[in-house]
Copies of this chain bind each other. A is one copy, B any other.
Amino acid sequence: MTSSIASGSGPRRSRADRARQVADVLHQQVISGAFGTGVLPDERLLAAEFGASRNTVREALDILRAEGLIDRVPGLGTVVVNRKYAHGLNQLTGLAETLSAHGEVSNEIRVATQVRPPTAVARRLGVPPHEPVVYVERLRRLGELPLSLDLTYLVPDIGLPLLEADLRNTDIFALIEHISGQPLGTAEIGIEALNADAHSAALLEVPAGAALLVLERLSRLDDDRPVDLEYIRFRGDRLTLRALATR
């Protein structure tokens, strides 16, 4: 057996390999709140814990720093500077609903109007071609910071009454259930990681190229009718998705 986590068998592993191995564990500890005080153990303690050299630990901390998770504060050490929020994938919930324990979600309504949808959108929503649908574009914030940019297409019988509602302070899911008089049923979700284009980055207040979690989500009412097609860009540094898979 090798004497520590960070060495390996066979040819000697590079420090970068060992640093990544340490960084992955530390990253999960940080985002799960394992360092309650927000201050990480010092490099000497981390080196002992991981059976790694202090140079390796320093390189691992550099990776977390580049991710924007931690920073060095003179006199304090290495501190957690970014909080990531978890959004469950198995249960269909709105953002304000999910994050209610963490603060208020506010929505800047960039567009809310009727549009003639492209064929691909009409087909996904099951509406006849050329029939107008409702389009809503929101920049969503938790506290002061942007969390996501959401482009939403809604079937007209739900979307039109929804245009009269308080979109600024209410999840669209809650409004759909109120208007339709039935609960939502299921949603099909596609998840990608993409580098932010310059304009989306500026809106989300991240550097161009920042990693985004990008979702396409088609939500259906309890009776299985598709009603809501969304294209969502989440800031990668602010959100973690959680899922439970079964064999």
Collect the chain B residues with CB atoms within 8 Å of residue A222's CB: 247
The answer on a CB contact under 8 Å between B245 and A187 is: yes
Whether a CB of chain B sits under 8 angstroms from the CB of A66 is: yes
Whether a CB of chain B sits under 8 angstroms from the CB of A246 is: yes
CA–CA, A111 to B5, complex, Å? 11
Collect the chain B residues with CB atoms within 8 Å of residue A34's CB: 120
The answer on a CB contact under 8 Å between B247 and A92 is: yes
Collect the chain B residues with CB atoms within 8 Å of residue A183's CB: 247
Residues facing B in A197-247 (CB within 8 A) are 197, 199-200, 209-214, 216, 222, 231, 234, 236, 239-247
Collect the chain B residues with CB atoms within 8 Å of residue A214's CB: 193
Whether a CB of chain B sits under 8 angstroms from the CB of A17 is: yes
User: In the complex, how many angstroms separate the beta carbon of A129 from the nearest chain B beta carbon?
Assistant: 11
The answer on a CB contact under 8 Å between A243 and B189 is: yes
Residue among A3, A20, A49, A66 facing the most chain B CB atoms (10 A cut-off):
A20
Residue of chain B at shortest CB distance from A50: B118
Whether a CB of chain B sits under 8 angstroms from the CB of A10 is: yes
Collect the chain B residues with CB atoms within 8 Å of residue A119's CB: 49
The answer on a CB contact under 8 Å between B209 and A209 is: yes
- A246 touching B190 in the complex, CB below 8 Å, given contacts A20-B199, A25-B118: no
Residues facing B in A120-175 (CB within 8 A) are 120-121, 132, 135, 137, 151
The answer on a CB contact under 8 Å between A191 and B188 is: no
Residues facing B in A52-94 (CB within 8 A) are 63, 66-67, 84, 86, 89-93
User: In the complex, how many angstroms separate the beta carbon of A8 from the nearest chain B beta carbon?
Assistant: 4
CA–CA, A199 to B22, complex, Å? 14
Whether a CB of chain B sits under 8 angstroms from the CB of A116 is: yes
Partner of A89, one of B16, B89, B135: B89
Collect the chain B residues with CB atoms within 8 Å of residue A137's CB: 8, 17, 21
Whether a CB of chain B sits under 8 angstroms from the CB of A184 is: yes
5 interchain pairs, CB-CB under 8 A: A1-B114, A31-B190, A89-B245, A192-B236, A211-B236
Q: Which 10 A-B pairs have the closest CB atoms?
A: A193-B236, A193-B193, A16-B199, A9-B113, A211-B211, A24-B231, A8-B111, A193-B211, A1-B114, A191-B241
